[in-house]
Chains A and B, each alone.
Chain A
C-alpha cells in the first residue's frame, strides 16, 4: 500500500548505545522498554512463585514446602504480581505510547520519568533482597494488621515489604504527576480531549487514581512503620489502636488499585478491537465517561473488602449498592466492545485474540465480582478459593490478557519487527486453556469451603481432583509464557521488518517509523479527528463521526525540516533514586545508612535542579544548528 511505502525506515539507533546511555536516558521510549523488560522479568519470578504454590497444593498433605515458606511464597507472589508486574507493565505501555499517541516529543518531565523508573527498580530490588537475608514477608499482599505486628512477626520480612512498597509508591506518584501533566498539557494541535485515543483516556484516569489512592496507603505504611520501629500502637488493640484502621486505609488504596490495574487493559482493548475490526470504536464518548465513572465509583466501595468485619447494616448496604453500580459502566464497556466487533471486517491477528479473550474472561471475573457485592454471599465466600478465582479472572484474564494484547499490538512499533503469528496464537490458546484450567476449578473449591492461604489440606476433604487440575493448568500457563519468550527472541533476531504501519492503524503512533526516531515527530502533527491516520488514508467517508473536509494526519517525513531540541541525558535522576532507596533500605541497617541516603538524595536533586534541561540542536535532528531559533 502506498501509505506504507511513504513511512520512513525504522530508527533502530534508538536503542543503540552502551550501558551508560541506558542509565542516563530520559527518552520516554527507552524508559518504556526498561519498564517492560523489568516487568516481564518479574512476571517470571512471580510465576515461579505461583508454580511452587501450585506444586505444594497439587495433592493432599503436600510436602514441597513448609508452612512458613508457603506463607512467604503467596505474599511475594501477590506483591510481585501487583506492584512489580502489572503496574510496571502498564507503565511500560504508558511510557512508550502516550507521547506518540498524543503527538508529543516527550513527556512533560523527562528526568522525573527516569527518576520514577529507577526508584521503582531499586524498590523492587529491595523487596526481593528479603530472599537473600532469608526472611521474605509472609503476611499476604494486603498485610493485615496483627499479622504484621512486631509481636507476631518479629523478623525483617515485613520491614522489607513496607519500605519497598513505600518506595515504589513514591515512584508511582512521581510518574502519575508526570503523565497527568503530559496528557493534559502536551497534546498536539487539534487533539481535544474528546479526540484523545481511549488508551490515553484510560491512562489519564489511572494517573488520577494513583495520585489519590497512593497517599492513604502511604499513611497506612507510616503507621505500620511507627508501630514496628518506634513502638506506637496504631494497629495494636492493647493501647487503643485498631487493626481495622489498617484495613480501611489499605482498601481505600486497594480498591482504586484494582482499577489502576484493569483500566490500562480496557484502554488497550479499546484500541485493538477497532483496528482489527476496521471500524471506529462503538460509542467512544460513552466509553470515556464509563471509564471516568468507574474511577470515581472505585473510591466509594473499599469496604466491600471488609463485610466480615461487621461494619453494620447501613454501611454494608451503602457499599454493596455502590459496588453493584460499578457493573453499569463496566457493562457499557463490554457491550460497546462487542458492538465494535459487530459487522466489522475482522482481521484475526494475535492482538485481537488476546483482546477478545480479555473481554470474555473479564466478564466471568466481573460476574463473580457482582456476587461479592452482596454481603450475605460475600460473607460465605470470604477468604475462600472463590475469591482467589475471582481475582485471578480479573487480574489474569482481564489485565494480563489485555496487556498481552497491547504487547502484540505495539510490538512492531517498539521493535520495528513483526512477531510470529503462529507462535502468538499458540501462546494465546495455551494461556487461555491454562488460565481456565487453573482458575475455574477454584470456584468449585471455594464453594466447597477450601480456605485460601492454607498450605496443606487433608485427603478426605475431596479437594484433590480440582487442585490437581489447577496445578496442571498452571504449568500450561508456564509453557505459554515460554512460547511467548521464544517468539519474542525470534522476532528480535530475525523478525520481518514491520514498517511504520503494519496494522493499518488509526492513531498517531502509526504515522511514524518503527521504532520511531528519538525526537518522535519530525513535524508536530495537526489532528482533526479521533482517528487522524484513518482520515488521511481513507478520507471522511471512512470516518463517519467526523464531518470534515480535512485530510487527516499524514505520515511523518524522514527528516525534520527544522532543528529539534531534546532533553539531555542525565545521571542525576538515577542518583537521586539511589539515595531515596538507601534511605528506605538503610532503615533496616542503621541510622548512618539512612543519613548517607539523605545526603545522596539531596546531592542528586541539587545537581539535577541545576542541570540545563535541553540538549540544543542535535545536528542529526534537522538542518545545521543555529539555523533555527
Chain B
C-alpha cells in the first residue's frame, strides 16, 4: 500500500527519519499555526482598541454549554489516541471502534456549535454590524464568528477525513506496519483540539 511504500522509500535516503506523510502533516500544521495566530493576533488588536464592544464572559455566550462541548472535543482526542494505539498493535476491531467514537464526538461538537450559533443569532448576536443587537458591539460578533467558524470548518473537514479513514479501516487497509494514514489523521485532530482549547479560553473565558 501507499503508506508502507512511502515509509520504505524514504528510509535509505538522506532525510528527517520521518516518513513523508507525517513530515508533510507537521509542515502543514506549521502553516496552520500561522493561520490561527493571525486570527488571534487580529482579535487582540481589535479588542484592545475597543474593549467596550466586548460583553462579560457569561452575558451573551453560553459558557457551560461550550464548556461541555470542549470536554467532548478533548474526549475525542483520547479516542483518537486509542484508535492509533489499537492499529499500532494490529488491533483492527479496536481501530474501527475508536474511529467511530471519534467521528461521533467530532460530529456532536459541530452539531452543538451549529445549535449554539442558531441560539445566539436569535438573540441578535450576529456577524453583520448593521443587525447586531446583543450586548457589546459588532466587533464582538464578527470576531466570534470568524474565529469559532474557521475552527468549526477545521473540525468539519476533520470529521470528513475521519470518515474516509474509517472507510479505509473497515476495508482493512491499515495494519501494524502500515498505519501512516491513522497517525497523520491523529496529528491533525489533536492540533484542531489544541487550537480549540486556546480559542475557548480567549473567546469565551477572558
Contacts and interface: CB of A to CB of B under 8 A. Distances in A.
B13 A187 contact: yes
A184 B42 contact: no
Contacts of A133: none
A30 B149 CA distance: 38
B30 to A, nearest CB: 6
Contact of B31 (A177, A220, A241, A252): A177
Interface string B1-32: 11001100010111110111001100110111
A185 B16 contact: yes
Contact of B38 (A191, A252, A524, A612): A252
B63 interface: no
B101 interface: no
Contacts of B206: none
A177 B24 contact: yes
Contacts of B34: 211-213, 215-216
Contacts of A104: 13
Given A192-B14, A249-B38, A249-B42, A231 B146 contact: no
A188 B30 CA distance: 26
A181 B5 contact: no
Contact of A223 (B35, B37, B42): B42
Interface stretch (B110-118, B127-135, B195-203): B127-135
B35 A189 contact: no
Contacts of A188: 13-14
Contacts of B53: 240
A181 B137 contact: no
Interface stretch (A269-277, A465-473, A585-593, A602-610): A602-610
Contacts of A612: 1-2
A599 to B, nearest CB: 12
Contact of B20 (A109, A252, A609): A109
B177 interface: no
A189 B138 contact: no
Nearest to A196: B14
Nearest to A218: B35
A181 B24 contact: yes
Interface residues of B, number: 48
Contacts of B18: 185
A239 interface: yes
Given A109-B24, A609-B164, A226 B5 contact: no
Contacts of A233: 129, 138-139, 142
B23 A226 contact: no
Interface string A180-216: 1100111111111000000000000000000111111
B194 interface: no
Contacts, number: 144
A152 interface: no
Given A215-B32, A226-B127, A245 B42 contact: yes
Contact of B164 (A184, A232, A606): A606
Nearest to B35: A215
A229 to B, nearest CB: 10
B68 interface: no
Nearest to A231: B128
A7 interface: no
B170 interface: no
Contacts of A177: 24, 27-28, 31
A125 interface: no
Interface string A220-241: 1011001000111110101111
Interface string A595-629: 00000001001100110111000000000000000
A211 B10 contact: no
Nearest to A244: B45
Contacts of A232: 127-129, 138, 141-142, 146
Most buried by A among B24, B130, B146, B164: B24
A575 B142 CA distance: 33
A53 interface: no
A614 B5 contact: yes
A185 B13 contact: yes
A197 to B, nearest CB: 14
A184 B131 CA distance: 51
A605 B161 CA distance: 10
Contacts of B131: 231
A240 B15 contact: no
Given A185-B10, A187-B14, A230 B38 contact: no
A151 to B, nearest CB: 12
A230 B121 CA distance: 13
Contacts of B35: 215, 218-219
A194 to B, nearest CB: 11
A108 to B, nearest CB: 4
B50 A184 contact: no
B10 A240 contact: no
A219 B38 contact: yes
A568 B130 CA distance: 53
A442 interface: no
A231 B28 contact: no
B65 to A, nearest CB: 24
Contacts of B27: 176-177, 180-181, 211
A236 B127 CA distance: 14
Given A230-B128, A233-B142, A184 B160 contact: no
A609 B2 CA distance: 10
Nearest to B40: A219
Contacts of B60: none
Most buried by A among B16, B38, B49: B38
Interface string B148-173: 00100000000010001001100000
B46 interface: yes
A245 B50 CA distance: 13
B85 interface: no
B39 interface: yes
B2 to A, nearest CB: 4
Contacts of A211: 27, 30-31, 34
B31 A215 contact: yes
A231 B130 contact: yes
A613 B127 contact: no
A173 interface: yes
5 contacts: A104-B13, A232-B142, A252-B38, A609-B164, A612-B2
In order of increasing CB-CB distance, the 4 nearest A-B pairs are: A231-B128, A215-B35, A215-B34, A613-B2
Given A189-B12, A605-B164, 18 more contacts: A104-B13, A108-B24, A180-B23, A180-B24, A185-B13, A185-B19, A186-B10, A188-B13, A215-B31, A215-B32, A219-B35, A222-B150, A226-B142, A232-B141, A233-B142, A234-B42, A234-B46, A242-B45
